[in-house]
Amino acid sequence: MKILGIDPGTQVAGYGLIEKTGSKIRAIEYGSIKTKRNQDFPQRLKTIYLKIMDIISNHQPDQIAIEEVFYGKNIKAAIKIGEGRGIVFLCAATANIPITEYAATVIKKAVVGNGGAHKSQVREMVKIILGLTENPEPEDASDALAIAICHSHNIT
């Protein structure tokens, strides 16, 4: 089972592809999709769309997992992230891949055992779970891998 985790964003979106075989999980590919500051917003969304569709085409994941929107005090940022999430949902629908959403606290609890864990703790546990020699970089990729790991715990 291949799972593509996405940490949504419109300036930087993290992605992490894992493969689950029985109880073993391994990283296949991870990284970030960076858009240019001088790009207009539709072009940023297009950049994200093309990269995710490229990952889907190259690796054919069975499922996609994405983090839910957390908006705190900045509603404008939450709307932008929501628009980026819409692109991920479009990619999933276009490729007929099921997509599942998880709250940040659920992801942290699945990976660290504590829904209030710090990003550094999540990153360290992602490294351990996947047997990586170094912490996954950038941070957005580590978050995306954590999302994929969380989803792997919730499927049979």
- The CA-based diameter of the chain, rounded to the nearest angstrom, is 45
**CATH (residue range 2-153):** 3.30.420.10
Instruction: Confirm if 89 and 99 have CB atoms less than 8 A apart.
Output: yes
* Number of DSSP helices (H) and strands (E) in the chain, helices first: 5, 5
- pLDDT score recorded for residue 73: 66
Amino acid (1-letter code) at residue 102: Y
Enumerate the active-site residues. Answer: 7, 67, 140
- pLDDT score recorded for residue 75: 81
pLDDT over 70 at 71, yes or no: no
pLDDT over 70 at 156, yes or no: no
pLDDT in tens, 123-135: 999 999 999 999 9
pTM of structure: 0.94
- pLDDT score recorded for residue 155: 84
